[in-house]
């Protein structure tokens, strides 16, 4: 039987999502948990696959993975008990045997958390309004031979007390694309880059290349694969992970410069 899971994780201690020899990754931890539970012996034969990749330090609220197993009941009941505290499943669904989350994904949504008192919200909104539509993102991504043209459906700036959230939804994204877009918004919000310049970069695909903003403030918020997930209880270990992340973020200047997660405001995963 093939199962799909909606997965959340803190990317702080992972070297990205994709399996890498000798390094801790989301795919690697998921595969190890499944093997430990006897759900499959080989992750390749089980067709373990994720809907997309996230870089080192990037978090997720709505990543999607899938694999095939002869023990679906055990998978749903026990997986969260075996996964580490900073990675857990929030939902599951039975899917068809051909289901691959990467190719079934219809829309992807990211959120970038902005905590900078110098940012002008009106300038941010003007800059964010440049991105919906089909554009050449050569100046906003690492291409590595891929087609730079992508379609963005929506963007918005969400005010949350004394910090702002940039949300972007599209069909697909290039490597570092959202982080590079976030850099352009930060520059625009500080008055260092105009919406007109952003528009020219998108129209021509040439000009200065925007560097990626820090990964710590980026969350893969949701992936729509056309699947309805039944909820899964993450357990108390999730609360322990939340407490640890709040402590660690408060102690890391490079994170607190661009992301504020004090306990009383709640957490972006809540």
Instruction: Indicate the pairing of strand 218-224 with strand 59-68.
Output: parallel
Q: Which CATH number belongs to the domain containing residue 184 in this structure?
A: 3.30.70.660
Please tell me whether residues 91 and 130 are part of one structural domain.
no
Q: Are residues 142 and 69 in the same domain?
A: no
Question: Is 177 within 8 Å of 108 (Cβ atoms)?
Answer: no
CATH of the domain at 25: 3.30.70.580
pTM given for the model? 0.88
The verdict on residue 258 lying in a domain is no
User: Using CB atoms within 10 A of its CB, is residue 132 exposed (0-12), middle (13-18) or buried (19+)?
Assistant: middle
Q: Same structural domain for residues 98 and 230?
A: yes
pLDDT on residue 162? 73
In angstroms, the CA 12 to CA 39 distance is 27
- Is the CB of residue 115 less than 8 Å from the CB of residue 256? yes
Confirm whether 242 is domain-assigned.
Answer: no
Q: What is the pLDDT of residue 250?
A: 61
Among the listed residues 29, 55, 86, 222, the single catalytic one is: 55
Same domain, yes or no, for 82 and 158? no
**3 state SS of 12:** helix
Of 175, 193, 218, the domain-final residue: 218
For each of the chain's 270 residues, which pLDDT tens digit applies?
A: 999 999 998 898 999 898 888 899 999 999 999 999 999 999 999 999 999 999 999 999 899 999 999 999 999 999 999 999 889 999 999 999 999 999 999 999 999 998 888 899 999 999 999 999 999 999 999 998 899 999 999 999 999 877 899 999 999 999 999 999 999 999 999 999 999 999 999 999 998 899 999 998 899 999 999 999 999 987 776 677 677 777 766 654 433 333 333 323 334 433
Residue 59 in domain: yes
Q: CB–CB of 187/116 below 8 Å? A: no
Domain-embedded: residue 269: no
Whether residue 251 lies inside any domain: the answer is no
116 is known as an active-site residue:
no
Q: Where in the sequence is the domain holding 166, given as residue range(s)?
A: 108-218
Between CA 257 and CA 253 the distance in angstroms is 6
Per-residue pLDDT at 249: 64
At 253 the pLDDT is 40
């Amino acid at each position: 039987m093939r199962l799909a899971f909606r997965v959340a994780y803190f990317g702080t201690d992972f070297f990205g999502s994709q399996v890498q020899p000798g390094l801790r990754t989301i795919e690697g931890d998921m595969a190890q948990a499944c093997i430990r539970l006897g759900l499959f012996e080989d992750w390749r034969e089980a067709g373990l696959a994720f809907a997309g990749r996230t870089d080192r330090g990037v978090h997720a609220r709505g990543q999607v993975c899938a694999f095939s197993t002869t023990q679906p009941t055990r998978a749903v009941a026990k997986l969260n008990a075996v996964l580490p505290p900073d990675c857990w499943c929030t939902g599951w669904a039975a899917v068809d045997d051909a289901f691959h989350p990467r190719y079934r994904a219809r829309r992807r949504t990211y959120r970038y958390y902005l905590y900078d008192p110098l940012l002008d919200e009106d300038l941010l909104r003007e800059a964010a309004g440049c991105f919906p539509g089909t554009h050449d993102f050569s100046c906003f991504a690492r291409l590595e031979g891929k087609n730079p043209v992508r379609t963005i459906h929506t963007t918005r700036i969400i005010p949350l007390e004394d910090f702002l959230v940039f949300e972007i939804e599209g069909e697909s994204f290039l490597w570092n694309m959202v982080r590079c877009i976030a850099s352009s918004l930060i520059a625009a919000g500080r008055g260092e880059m105009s919406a007109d310049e952003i528009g020219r970069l998108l129209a021509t695909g040439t000009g200065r290349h925007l560097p990626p903003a820090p990964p710590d403030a980026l969350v893969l918020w949701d992936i729509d694969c056309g699947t309805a997930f039944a909820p899964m209880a993450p357990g108390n270990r999730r609360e322990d992970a939340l407490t640890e992340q709040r402590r660690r973020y408060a102690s890391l200047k490079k994170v607190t410069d661009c992301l504020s997660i004090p306990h009383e405001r709640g957490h972006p995963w809540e």
